[in-house]
Every structure is written in structure tokens, then in C-alpha cells.
């Protein structure tokens, strides 16, 4: 065991689906496709289902919700209503304002 790894616990790293920036898991917002097929924000980071991470930056949310990256990572289709609901639900988590256009 190397001296640098003894007793040091590293934070899990995750990648934003929009900008591809790697950051600590707790810095990013997790979205999850539940077993029922619904897509929702996972504020605990422990919900069961397929997950994807997005930076708390408006530009990343706009890119993820406008494009296909989020659908590809969650392996599902997002409806217009799903996208609008995610924008509303993310209001307290995203820095700045995300528009509902896209």
C-alpha cells in the first residue's frame, strides 16, 4: 500500500452528460429513470434505477434537455412534459435560470 493511499478516501467521480466535465458525485445533479419508467431528480443519490449526472449550470441543463444525451444515458424517451417537469423540479438545484424552450 502506498503512503498516499493509506487512510485517504476519495470522493466518487461522475461525468456530466452535457459538457463531459468530470467532477465529484456530490457536485453534480443525478437524474434517475425509475423502474416504473419515470425520470426524476434524485436528491439523495441513492434511488434505484438508471442514473445520469448533470452539472448545476444552466447551460448544461439546456444542452442535456434539448439534445439527446440524457435520453441516451437513461435509455428512454423524454416527452415535452418530462422536460418541462425536470426544469421546474431543478429550480433550486441549478445556478441561474433554465428556460423551458428547446
**pLDDT (tens digit per residue) in 13-45:** 999 999 999 999 999 999 999 989 999 999 898
pLDDT of residue 24: 95
Question: Residues of the chain with pLDDT > 90: what percent?
Answer: 65
Mind listing the domains of the chain with CATH numbers?
Answer: 13-89 (3.30.1230.10)
Cell numbers found for residue 50: 438508471
3-state class (DSSP) for residue 51: strand
pLDDT of residue 48: 93
Cell numbers found for residue 14: 461522475
Question: What CA–CA distance (Å, rounded) separates 20 from 83?
Answer: 20
Amino acid at each position: 500500500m502506498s503512503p498516499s493511499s493509506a487512510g485517504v478516501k476519495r470522493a466518487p467521480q461522475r461525468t456530466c452528460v452535457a459538457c463531459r466535465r468530470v467532477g465529484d458525485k456530490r457536485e453534480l445533479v443525478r437524474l434517475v429513470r425509475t423502474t416504473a419508467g419515470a425520470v426524476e431528480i434524485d436528491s439523495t443519490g441513492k434511488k434505484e434505477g438508471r442514473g445520469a449526472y448533470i452539472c448545476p449550470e444552466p447551460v448544461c441543463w439546456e444542452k442535456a434537455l434539448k439534445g439527446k444525451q440524457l435520453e441516451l444515458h437513461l435509455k428512454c424517451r423524454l416527452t415535452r412534459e418530462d422536460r418541462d417537469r425536470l426544469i421546474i423540479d431543478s429550480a433550486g438545484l441549478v445556478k441561474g435560470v433554465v428556460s423551458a424552450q428547446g
